Amino acid sequence: MPIKNGSEYIESLRNRNLQVYLFGELVKEPVDHPMIRPSINAVAATYDIAIEDPEIGSAKSTLTGTQVNRFLHIAQSSEDLVNQNKMQRKLGQKTGTCFQRCVGMDALNSLYSTTFEIDKKYNTQYHTRLLEFIKKIQYENLVIGGTMTDVKGDRSLSPSQQEDPDMFVHIVRRDEKGVYIRGAKAHQTGCINSHWLIVMPTMRLRPEDKDYAIVGAIPVDAKGITYIYGRQSCDTRSMEDGDLDTGNSQFSGQEALIIFDNVFIPNDLIFMDGEVEFASMLVERFTCYHRRSYVCKTGLGDVLIGAAAAIAEYNGVSNASHIKDKLIEMTHLNETIFAAGIASSHQAYKTPSGNFINDDMLANVCKHNVTRFPYEIGRLAQDIAGGLMVTMPSEKDFRGAVTGPLLDKYLKGRKGVSTEDRVRILRLIENMTLGRNAVGYLTESMHGAGSPQAQRIQIARQMQLEYKKKLARRLARIPEGENTTDSTLIAESSDYFDRIFGLKKEKQNNA
């Protein structure tokens, strides 16, 4: 039976016998572990939003004709992509953390068009297989985890040049039923909380890297998979009594190292096998979707701005001009991230396969903003909060017979605000800027979907400088060919306005 809501999703994760290690020990049941459960709750929210707000949380599948969770939907229009962004922001507001399903959503959409083009060139059956897989997961309403980032070893060497071939996931043997893979994937968001993993290459590949050009779907509990849970700052606070010190006791993100040891992928779940020239297409399309998906951080930003405004009020300084100015700046930065991401979705275009992909330049601008602006928003929140955010005594002291009354008296703020409420808001700011969910708001903003340099490379490729110089020379009345650089560069840049302004016309023609 398909999963209907967040509660049923949580129950679906039980009794899977996963090999999950945390603090060097095998976790008996991840669902009940106090450090893991908040991340499961965050994924559960992605189910409930489809019920609470079906317009943005769900969509009608063109494959089955039924309403499905938007995280499993193949985007059929720019409106679909815009609604993804709206859903991501709302979930960020609801959870204050990473809700872990964007990687799977973006992997499905990038694979949809890439497998179509592989089949067109090689007459393979990858796209047909993918469609059957998507129908299955849409019907059962499952969580898909995308795994792309290899551990990489020596970064100066290609996958096939590594001293240890397992530094990149690769095929180690095959038989008539499928292939067996070995290697590891790092920083894998929500992998333990998923039902299926999609393994993908992490970079463009050469012909000698053929065994590394593997894409396939694997059950999370498949034989040969080991998960080693990642640490997060202040994470053991969730194992203490009470919830005051956690800041956000209900929700958190999740990352883990996944180790594949001769893990089997059957033929009907293989979506690329050796087509090295399509690895770069898949990676670039995935990053195009995923860098725009980082508008999710604006939902977290909304929470942090609200927390900063609340602590200013509790401290009695909400009317100070410098406080207002800092809140305005935080809001400006947050909305700038959202503007680039949602503009990228609005500028989507139709791929040969029929699904839509967002504008790549604006997606990279969105993600590049995310590598900077949340850090400044976090700094301003800490500025407004004050030093008590990081010097507060523990919850046990607040509950202590001797220390409790003293703390209640001396850590009180404005009249009418309880000391505990003031402490809870300060702990939330700590949680999002220094504590456990700082991973989802800050560090993930820096390195998720590629580090800042990765976006700068993509932006540089699309700057269209020669075409822009041509525009300037035309207005300056400099004759064509005079004081110009390579004319071929100008020719290569001639589609600039078509890319930016011709999309609406193209979408109308494709409708």
Per-residue pLDDT tens over the stretch 465-484: 999 999 999 999 999 876 66
Q: 361 lies in a domain? A: yes
Average predicted confidence (pLDDT) for the chain: 94
Domain boundary among 221, 247, 282: 282
> What was the pLDDT predicted at 326?
98
234 within 8 A of 223, measured Cβ to Cβ: no
Residues 241 and 312 in one domain: no
Span 22-47, pLDDT tens digits: 999 999 999 999 999 999 999 999 99
For the entire predicted model, the pTM comes to 0.93
Residue 335: CB atoms within 10 A of its CB come to: 14
Q: 199 lies in a domain? A: yes
Domain boundary among 248, 282, 316: 282
Residues 119 and 261 in one domain: yes
Q: 61 lies in a domain? A: yes
Q: 248 lies in a domain? A: yes
- Catalytic option among 395, 430, 444, 466: 444
Span 89-122, pLDDT tens digits: 999 999 999 999 999 999 999 999 999 999 999 9
Span 229-282, pLDDT tens digits: 999 999 999 999 999 999 999 999 999 999 999 999 999 999 999 999 999 999
* pLDDT range class, residue 494, cuts 50, 70, 90: very low
pLDDT at 383 over 50: yes
Residues 253 and 358 in one domain: no
Partners of residue 147 on adjacent β-strands: 199
Q: Tell me which residue has tokens 């200013």.
A: 312
Give helix then strand counts, H and E, for the chain. Answer: 21, 14
Span 330-379, pLDDT tens digits: 999 999 999 999 999 999 999 999 999 999 999 999 999 999 999 999 99
What CATH number is given to the structural domain containing 253? Answer: 2.40.110.10
- DSSP per-residue codes, 2-33: ---SHHHHHHHTTT----EEETTEE-S-GGG-
Q: Which two tokens stand for residue 389?
A: 């955010």
Span 142-175, pLDDT tens digits: 999 999 999 999 999 999 999 999 999 999 999 9
Q: 146 lies in a domain? A: yes
Residues 13 and 133 in one domain: yes
- Catalytic option among 114, 170, 212, 296: 296
Residues 21 and 142 in one domain: yes
Domain boundary among 282, 316, 332: 282
Q: Which two tokens stand for residue 431?
A: 């949680």
- Catalytic option among 189, 246, 287, 298: 189
- By CB atoms closer than 10 A (0-12, 13-18, 19+), residue 476 is exposed
Residues 24 and 117 in one domain: yes
> What was the pLDDT predicted at 484?
60
pLDDT at 510 over 80: no
Percent of the chain whose pLDDT exceeds 70: 94
| Distance in angstroms (rounded) separating the CA atoms of residues 452 and 380 | 22
- Catalytic option among 46, 47, 98, 275: 98
* pLDDT range class, residue 511, cuts 50, 70, 90: very low
Q: 287 lies in a domain? A: no
> What was the pLDDT predicted at 164?
98
Residues 301 and 258 in one domain: no
- Catalytic option among 9, 95, 255, 366: 255
For this structure, is 288 an active site residue? no
Q: 1 lies in a domain? A: no
Residues 31 and 77 in one domain: yes
Residue 277 per-residue DSSP state: G
What domain count does the chain have?
3
For this structure, is 294 an active site residue? yes
Residues 24 and 133 in one domain: yes
Residues 236 and 262 in one domain: yes
For this structure, is 191 an active site residue? no
Q: 147 lies in a domain? A: yes
> What was the pLDDT predicted at 1?
84
Residues 350 and 262 in one domain: no
Span 419-449, pLDDT tens digits: 999 999 999 999 999 999 999 999 999 999 9
Residues 33 and 132 in one domain: yes
For this structure, is 255 an active site residue? yes
- Catalytic option among 294, 368, 433, 441: 294
pLDDT at 327 over 70: yes
> What was the pLDDT predicted at 493?
45
What CATH number is given to the structural domain containing 300? Answer: 1.20.140.10
Span 184-201, pLDDT tens digits: 999 999 999 999 999 999
- Catalytic option among 33, 102, 147, 433: 102
482 is in which domain, residue-wise?
A: 465-510
